[in-house]
Amino acid sequence: MKFPPQVVEYLQENFSADTRPVCFQIDSKYNLIEIWGDTGWCGLDSAQVGSDMLELAPYLFESLDDTPNVIEFVSPPCGAVAHVHIIHCDNKYFVILLDAKEEHDSIQVRQQSVNELKLLHASQQRLIGRQRDLIGELVETKAELDHLRKEAERSSDSKGQFIAMMSHEFRTPLASIMNYAELASEPSVPENTIHKSVEAIARSARHLNALVEAVLDDAKLKAGQIELSEADFNLYELLSDLSAMMAPMAADKELSFVCQIDDAVPKIIRSDEVRLRQILINLLGNAVKFTVEGGIQLITTYADGRLVSSIVDTGPGISSEDQERVFRAFERGGAASDTGAGLGLAISLRLAHLMNGEISIDSALGYGCTVAVNLPILVSADDNSSQTSALAAPSENSYATKPVSVLLCDDDEDMLALTEHYLHRAGYGLIVSTSGDEAVLKVMAYDPDIVLMDCNLPGISGIEAATRLRKSGYTKPIIALTASKLSDSDQACFTCYFRKPAPMQELLTEIKLLTH
Amino acid sequence: MTSITSKVCVVGDFAVGKTSAVERFVNNHFSDKYLTTVGVKIDTKEILLPEQNVSIKLIIWDVAGAEEFGDKEFAYLRGASGFVYVSDGTRLRTLDSAYKIREQIELRYNAQPNVLLLNKSDLAGTWQAKDDHVSSASEKFGAVYKTSAKDGDEVDTALTRLAELIVAKDLQPVQ
């Protein structure tokens, strides 16, 4: 169907005014055959018959086809925008370009707004997501703060409980010591009463000492001040010592005590004997303390480099709620909340962690309790060597076997008297002084074979006194007795030092070693 | 030296930086102003590939952005020898669009040499594409580049790599 000439003329006039059609004919090699129309707007000004139209209209590349092809909104580098129509005719192609700049710009404005809105929306979504994350973090932080606040409150409560408990725990043995001391010092008291009083005083003092040690250990562990001291020792002897210690305590309560050692357990191991002993004493002590009937077993096994000592008791057991709590300092299980400092398990657990080990509890209320200490250990290459237990029983081997004079300096009369007693009994000749100045004078006058010097003295300190002695040419051993740790520089003028209260046996052994 | 002319289409979601990447590649220029592309923008650039002893003229069709393609967009892709997929590293959704478009194109035209540009690497603070995204994309696309049309980082490298892939395919002996 063909339009009437008037319609064609109308369309040409009006349609052409808007679209400024350009038409050109090319061959299949993109060479220009003929061109019609106003070519200024579409960058084809320079087009001449024979021109390579691929240079001027690169969009033609791979666009020629047997069927009509329309490519809308084509923007070549010249800045124009055209609808490109390609018509195949007798191995040639007519290409018609219609100016679409106005339509393009109009669509672009609308599309730009839509896209910017979408970008804004995406940005908002990101912000909302971030806000949600921040709220989540805030909630987590708040929960963490609540947890920390509760921990702090619990810690504060525990400290309050600790002070109240310590006040009670310390006052009881202190009162016992004071009362028995007064009793023993009364005139005409029978000798066996004095003897019983002294025993009671010694018992209370040991209890006090254990309490102080426990509190100090706990504080040191918390502050990370305890260092392990690993050495080879005889594990069987340690377990034998513990059995010897615990069996009578169990027997006093009519409880059985069994110590089982698996065949695989090595005899000589490398670990910190003192700390292992401390852990096991704490756990065994608890088992004996809380078990009313039945018995306690200490079962030790070894596999894959790990030593496992299980303390099995037939006591009241620990509820699952209390099992975590009992490992916290100053807290005790519900069933046994009326006795003990509540430090033993906390210290044991910290020590086990320090030794890269673990302590676990398997228990239920009414069904006894199994506490297992699991520690990595090294088996000594010399598994048959005989070792001496660190806490070997005192022996008379430490007594003097030749005349030795000891200058003992301490301002604490009781401590002076006590040390004097043991040194006398071990056969040492004694010179005593109660101040640093006096000690220096007496050493210069009597030249003793060894000096035992308390550090905290009235007037010049024991450290100053020892320094003066060294400067004046005294070269014999000086042992420091101190309640606090000595710095390296302070240790320089001493041969060695003992922390107070010094274990007498060890002190006597050291004196003998240095003087014989 | 062999001379080749190839049609390359640059495709991807809107506002990922397709036009900016082409502008950086062709004219070594960047404009901060975002201007939506309508239809298709045509540019050309000739690259010398000395190792392959080829001079390749790329006719670059920068196609308007879309999350997925319809008939209108496919009309622009006819005869393309390679594709540059572009996504915005600060908008992970645009990486999904790149995957979707790639699937559509390969369904219609089979697999062609291609590279993926994870663009806007200069916006490190809001960058969402992680290493695992890059490694996953590397399994699907011919090569993946973290690019910045703004700074020019890796744009030339990516387009040159695409040219190499096209030449390697074109010069392959016919079986």
Q: Which of A73, A77, A115 sits opposite B14 (nearest CB)?
A: A115
Measure the CA–CA gap between A377 and A481, rounded to whole angstroms.
34
Residue A367 sits at φ, ψ, to 5 deg, of -125, 30
Higher pLDDT, A343 or B69: B69
Are A112 and B65 in contact (CB < 8 Å)? Answer: no
Query: Scanning every residue of chain B, which has its alpha carbon at the shortest distance from the alpha carbon of A61?
Result: B7
Q: Where are the alpha helices (DSSP H) in chain B?
A: 18-27, 71-77, 93-109, 131-140, 155-170
Is 80 exceeded by the pLDDT of residue A165?
Answer: no
Partners of residue A61 in chain B, C-beta under 8 Å: 5, 7, 59, 79
Is 90 exceeded by the pLDDT of residue A183?
Answer: no
Measure the CA–CA gap between B76 and B72, rounded to whole angstroms.
7
DSSP letter assigned to residue A114: H
Is 60 exceeded by the pLDDT of residue B158?
Answer: yes
CA diameter of chain A = 154
Q: Which of B14, B39, B75 sits opposite A75 (nearest CB)?
A: B39
Higher pLDDT, A386 or A484: A484
The predicted structure's pLDDT at residue A151: 86
What contacts A315, CB < 8 A, 6 or more positions away? A287, A290, A291, A292, A294, A368, A369
The predicted structure's pLDDT at residue A80: 95
Is 60 exceeded by the pLDDT of residue A334?
Answer: no
Are A58 and B59 in contact (CB < 8 Å)? Answer: yes
- Which candidate in A44, A61, A109, A126 is best for mutational testing of the B interface (most B CBs within 10 A)? A61
pTM as predicted: 0.51
What contacts B175, CB < 8 A, 6 or more positions away? none
Average pLDDT across chain A, whole number: 85
Partners of residue A100 in chain B, C-beta under 8 Å: 39
Measure the CA–CA gap between B133 and B113, rounded to whole angstroms.
20
| Residue corresponding to tokens 């806007």 | B120
| Residue pair A49/B67 in contact by the 8 Å Cβ criterion | no
- Which candidate in A52, A67, A71, A126 is best for mutational testing of the B interface (most B CBs within 10 A)? A71
Terminal CA-CA length for chain A? 138
- Which candidate in B7, B8, B42 is best for mutational testing of the A interface (most A CBs within 10 A)? B42
Partners of residue A74 in chain B, C-beta under 8 Å: 39-40, 42
Cα A503 to chain center, whole Å?
34
Residue A346: CB atoms within 10 A of its CB come to 22
Measure the CA–CA gap between B86 and A139, rounded to whole angstroms.
38
How many angstroms separate the Cα of A410 from the Cα of each of A358, A403, A407, A506?
Answer: 43, 22, 10, 18
Measure the CA–CA gap between A456 and A445, rounded to whole angstroms.
23
Measure the CA–CA gap between A282 and A496, rounded to whole angstroms.
30
| Residue pair A509/A398 in contact by the 8 Å Cβ criterion | yes
For chain A, percent of residues with pLDDT exceeding 70: 91
Measure the CA–CA gap between A396 and A409, rounded to whole angstroms.
24
User: Which stretch of A204-213, A215-224, A307-316, A323-332 has the lowest confidence by average pLDDT?
Assistant: A323-332
Measure the CA–CA gap between A44 and A51, rounded to whole angstroms.
10
Distance, in angstroms, between B97 CA and closest chain A CA? Answer: 14
Is 60 exceeded by the pLDDT of residue A257?
Answer: yes
Measure the CA–CA gap between A43 and A56, rounded to whole angstroms.
7
Cis amide linkage into residue A58, ω under 30° from 0: no
Q: For residue A229, what is the enclosing H or E element? A: none
| Residue pair A218/A347 in contact by the 8 Å Cβ criterion | yes
Is 90 exceeded by the pLDDT of residue A178?
Answer: no
> Long-range CB contacts (< 8 A, 24+ apart) of A482-489?
A482/A454, A482/A455, A482/A456, A483/A455, A483/A456, A484/A455, A484/A456, A486/A455
Is 70 exceeded by the pLDDT of residue B79?
Answer: yes
A483, A307, A282: which is closest to A379 by C-alpha? A307
For chain A, percent of residues with pLDDT exceeding 90: 41
CA diameter of chain B = 50
Higher pLDDT, A316 or A1: A316
Are B38 and A107 in contact (CB < 8 Å)? Answer: yes
For chain B, percent of residues with pLDDT exceeding 90: 83
Residue B67: CB atoms within 10 A of its CB come to 15
Measure the CA–CA gap between B157 and B154, rounded to whole angstroms.
5
A270, A284, A239, A297: which is closest to A355 by C-alpha? A270
Query: Scanning every residue of chain B, which has its alpha carbon at the shortest distance from the alpha carbon of A76?
Result: B42
Partners of residue A108 in chain B, C-beta under 8 Å: 35-36, 38
Query: Scanning every residue of chain A, which has its alpha carbon at the shortest distance from the alpha carbon of B94?
Result: A122
Are A62 and B38 in contact (CB < 8 Å)? Answer: no
Region of residue A32 (phi > 0: left; psi between -120 and 50: alpha; otherwise: beta): beta
Residue A132: CB atoms within 10 A of its CB come to 10
What contacts B86, CB < 8 A, 6 or more positions away? B10, B11, B12, B16, B17, B18, B21, B98, B116, B117, B119
Distance, in angstroms, between A229 CA and closest chain B CA? Answer: 48
Are A76 and B42 in contact (CB < 8 Å)? Answer: yes
Distance, in angstroms, between A32 CA and closest chain B CA? Answer: 19
Are B41 and A104 in contact (CB < 8 Å)? Answer: no
- Which candidate in A115, A117, A123, A130 is best for mutational testing of the B interface (most B CBs within 10 A)? A115
The predicted structure's pLDDT at residue A415: 77
Are A72 and B75 in contact (CB < 8 Å)? Answer: yes
| Residue corresponding to tokens 């109660």 | A434
CA angle, B8 then B12 then B14, to 5°: 130
Measure the CA–CA gap between A419 and A226, rounded to whole angstroms.
28
The predicted structure's pLDDT at residue A325: 76
What is the residue type of B71? D
Measure the CA–CA gap between B129 and A94, rounded to whole angstroms.
47
Give the tens place of pLDDT for each residue, A386-413.
444 333 334 567 777 888 899 999 887 7
Residues of A with CB under 8 A from a CB of B: 54, 58-59, 61-63, 65, 69-77, 81, 100, 104, 107-108, 111-112, 115-116, 118-119, 122, 126
A295, A280, A363, A290: which is closest to A332 by C-alpha? A290
Mean pLDDT of A216-243: 82
Q: For residue A48, what is the enclosing H or E element? A: none
Partners of residue B7 in chain A, C-beta under 8 Å: 61-62
Residue A169: which pLDDT band, with cuts at 50, 70 and 90? low
Partners of residue A104 in chain B, C-beta under 8 Å: 38-39
Partners of residue A58 in chain B, C-beta under 8 Å: 42, 44, 59
Tokens of residue B164, six digits: 């190499």
The predicted structure's pLDDT at residue A382: 61
Residue A87: which pLDDT band, with cuts at 50, 70 and 90? very high
Higher pLDDT, A179 or B137: B137
Q: Is A463 helix (H, G, I), strand (E, B) or coil?
A: helix
Of A161-165, A411-415, A469-473, which one has max mean pLDDT? A469-473
Mean pLDDT of A298-312: 94
Are B39 and A58 in contact (CB < 8 Å)? Answer: no
The predicted structure's pLDDT at residue B174: 56
| Residue pair A384/A364 in contact by the 8 Å Cβ criterion | no
The predicted structure's pLDDT at residue A93: 96
Name the packing angle between helices A273-290 and A344-354 (round to 10°): 150
The predicted structure's pLDDT at residue A71: 94
Mean pLDDT of B119-125: 90
Q: For residue A82, what is the enclosing H or E element? A: strand A82-89
Measure the CA–CA gap between B166 and B175, rounded to whole angstroms.
17
What is the residue type of A468? R
Partners of residue B64 in chain A, C-beta under 8 Å: 73, 111
Are A75 and B41 in contact (CB < 8 Å)? Answer: yes
Pairing of strands A82-89, A92-99: antiparallel
Q: Which of B36, B42, B65 sits opposite A77 (nearest CB)?
A: B42
Distance, in angstroms, between A62 CA and closest chain B CA? Answer: 5
Residue A103: CB atoms within 10 A of its CB come to 18
| Residue pair A339/A349 in contact by the 8 Å Cβ criterion | no
The predicted structure's pLDDT at residue B149: 97
Distance, in angstroms, between A10 CA and closest chain B CA? Answer: 29
User: Which stretch of A23-27, A151-155, A257-261, A321-325 has the lowest confidence by average pLDDT?
Assistant: A321-325
| Residue pair B118/B95 in contact by the 8 Å Cβ criterion | yes
Distance, in angstroms, between B148 CA and closest chain A CA? Answer: 19
Query: Scanning every residue of chain A, which has its alpha carbon at the shortest distance from the alpha carbon of B80?
Result: A62
Measure the CA–CA gap between A110 and A114, rounded to whole angstroms.
6
Are A112 and B93 in contact (CB < 8 Å)? Answer: no
Q: Which of B35, B39, B93 sits opposite A72 (nearest CB)?
A: B39
